[in-house]
């Protein structure tokens, strides 16, 4: 309990410090103006696309769990998992919610945890492929000075590494399990053992390609939904180059969730990471932090609303079955 209080206090301190320095240069009027400038159509389109992404994500979990949880219930569990991503560092809160809810439906803790880990694993591969494609778009936009063969080879390496990791997933999980055993991390060892067992039982190439394809769609849909808000906030011209630059900014912001100490629900650290990456890659924005803040708050309100609503429905159903 004491550790949790300290963690929350540190998160509040980080968020408060970052926002303090932000509001020293930016007034509340600018923030209100930024929110007021977003077309309602852009917000509605974001909501619709994000629901599509959640549906595809639930399909992937259903494949990972061998169809042992119904589609509707798994969709609700996915909505809960989505909103809890930024609650604690390294997606730990998301893992806790997901494994708790799947366990209530008869899935063993190790199985639920391993399916979550495998999903994160495929997310990382899909993100690598998507950013590789984004890099291709950006490099091509520089003109004829960049040889097409170099771009092709770069993308080929990314695809080859991704496929190699998928093929070697079982031995990699076994190696991680042995390391966990040496470090006496019993619970983590059990998860990696379950991951290794999963890949032993689900070694078909078709299933792995299917999971990678679903993961790629999930990432693409998520980034497109955020891009819709970005265009609404910034007034940027829609183009493949603009989307590619924005994708790198969001990827940098998402990595902030793996920081040992982050802002409360990611607030502050997400925006700071986006602004840092945006400045480095040349994403022209008047105020990158403000743009990220507006996008982040809209997505948080939407996802928390859906997630808490889904959690309430699941709890009501659970009480009704007792």
Q: Is residue 3 part of a domain?
A: no
- Write the DSSP symbol of residue 237: P
Question: What is the residue range of 309's domain?
Answer: 38-59+70-80+89-167+204-321
Please give the Cα distance from 171 to 258 (Å, whole number).
Answer: 25
Helical spans, DSSP H, in 40-185: 40-64, 71-83, 92-104, 109-140, 148-167, 169-182
Helices 71-83 and 40-64, axial angle in degrees (round to 10): 120
Task: Using alpha carbons, select from 277, 279, 285, 221 the residue that is nearest to residue 34.
Answer: 285
> What is the number of domains present in the chain?
1
∠ CA 269-273-275, rounded to 5°: 115
Residue 76 falls inside a structural domain: yes
Across 107-121, 178-192, 243-257, the highest mean pLDDT is recorded for 243-257
Where does the pLDDT of residue 149 fall: very low under 50, low under 70, confident under 90, or very high at 90 and above? low
Residue 322 has pLDDT above 90, yes or no: no
Angle, CA of 75, 119 and 133, to the nearest 5° = 105
In a domain, 234, yes or no: yes
Q: Mean of the per-residue pLDDT values for the chain?
A: 81
Task: Answer whether residue 106 is part of any domain.
Answer: yes
Rounded Cα distance between 156 and 175, Å, is 27
Residue 97 lies in a domain: yes
Q: Does some domain include residue 195?
A: no
Q: Does the pLDDT at position 146 exceed 50?
A: no
Give the C-alpha separation, 77 to 177, whole Å: 27
Question: Does some domain include residue 268?
Answer: yes
Q: Does 293 score more than 50 pLDDT? A: yes
| pLDDT score for 147 | 47
CA atoms in the 13 A half-sphere facing the CB of 66: 9
Percent of the chain whose predicted confidence (pLDDT) is above 90? 21
pTM value? 0.84
Any domain includes 187: no
CA 162 from centre of chain:
18
Q: What value does the mean pLDDT take over residues 137-145?
A: 65
**How confident is residue 143, by pLDDT bands cut at 50, 70 and 90?**
low
């Amino acid at each position: 309990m004491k550790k949790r209080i300290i963690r929350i206090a540190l998160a509040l301190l980080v968020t408060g410090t970052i926002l303090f320095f932000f509001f020293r240069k930016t007034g509340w009027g600018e923030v209100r103006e930024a929110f007021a400038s977003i077309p309602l159509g852009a917000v509605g389109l974001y909501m619709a696309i994000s629901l599509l992404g959640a549906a595809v994500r639930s399909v992937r979990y259903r494949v990972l769990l061998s169809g042992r949880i119904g589609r509707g219930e798994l969709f609700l569990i996915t909505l809960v998992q989505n909103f809890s991503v930024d609650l604690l560092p390294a997606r730990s809160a998301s893992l806790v919610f997901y494994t708790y809810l799947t366990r209530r439906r008869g899935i063993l803790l190790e199985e639920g945890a391993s399916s979550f880990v495998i999903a994160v694993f495929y997310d990382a591969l899909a993100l690598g492929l998507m950013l590789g494609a984004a890099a291709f778009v950006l490099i091509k936009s520089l003109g004829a000075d960049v040889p097409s063969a170099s771009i092709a080879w770069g993308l080929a390496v990314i695809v080859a590494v991704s496929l190699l990791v998928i093929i070697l997933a079982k031995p990699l999980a076994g190696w991680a399990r042995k390391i966990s055993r040496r470090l006496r991390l019993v619970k983590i060892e059990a998860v990696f053992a379950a991951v290794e067992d999963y890949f032993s039982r689900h070694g078909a190439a078709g299933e792995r390609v299917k999971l990678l394809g679903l993961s790629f769609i999930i990432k693409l849909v998520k980034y497109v939904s955020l891009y819709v808000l970005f265009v609404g906030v910034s007034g940027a011209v829609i183009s493949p180059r603009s989307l590619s630059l924005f994708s790198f900014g969001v990827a940098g912001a998402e990595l902030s969730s793996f920081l040992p100490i982050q802002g409360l629900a990611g607030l502050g650290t997400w925006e700071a990471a986006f602004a840092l990456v945006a400045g480095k890659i040349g994403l022209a924005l008047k105020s990158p932090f403000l743009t990220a803040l507006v996008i982040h708050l809209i997505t948080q309100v939407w996802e928390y609303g859906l997630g808490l609503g889904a959690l309430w429905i699941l709890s009501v159903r659970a009480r009704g079955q007792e």
